[in-house]
């Protein structure tokens, strides 16, 4: 059975995708740790990030960097955190999270029912920041 990420990537279920290329997508997390929380997900459905090819892993990190810069521009957090946990969905995903302190990386505090309009706004703010930075793979 395909992961929820594979289903979003395939367009079977909606997602707020802000970046798409031949290797990965970036999408706004529907259970954000903080406003602007974005996931970078390889298109290949690989459970453990250590099982990705080094090329795919490096590409995902490059996209996470671009998304992190966009988060910094759009939300001006103290830091942009990056984390790979791998327990929630059996499909590799990098969490790119605007943070003010380490507590913003606690999954127990994720927003369970965020406002959909707010998530749409976050997606558009990040797309705008990525376009300003002249990234060609913005959705």
Read off the pLDDT of residues 17-54 as tens digits, 9 standing for 90 and up: 999 999 999 999 999 999 999 999 999 999 999 999 99
Read off the pLDDT of residues 4-20 as tens digits, 9 standing for 90 and up: 999 999 999 999 999 99
Any idea where the domains of the chain sit in the sequence? 4-83+93-130
Burial (Cβ within 10 Å: 0-12, 13-18, ≥19) of residue 18: buried
Q: Which residue is associated with the tokens 């929380």?
A: 37
Say which CATH topology domain 4-83+93-130 has: HIT family, subunit A (3.30.428)
Which pTM does this prediction carry? 0.97
C-alpha closest to that of 6 among 38, 45, 58, 32? 45
């Amino acid at each position: 059975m395909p992961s929820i990420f594979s289903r979003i990537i395939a367009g079977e279920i909606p997602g707020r995708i802000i970046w798409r290329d031949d290797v990965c997508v970036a999408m706004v997390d529907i259970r954000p740790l903080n406003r602007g929380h974005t996931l970078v997900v390889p298109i290949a459905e690989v459970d453990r990030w250590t099982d990705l090819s080094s090329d795919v892993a490096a590409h995902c990190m490059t996209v996470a960097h671009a998304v992190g810069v966009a988060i910094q521009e759009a939300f001006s957090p103290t830091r942009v955190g990056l984390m790979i946990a791998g327990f929630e969905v059996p499909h590799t995903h990098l969490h790119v999270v605007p943070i003010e302190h380490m507590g913003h990386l606690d999954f127990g505090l994720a927003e369970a029912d965020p406002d959909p309009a707010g998530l749409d706004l976050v997606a558009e703010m990040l797309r705008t920041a990525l376009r300003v930075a002249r990234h060609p793979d913005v959705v």
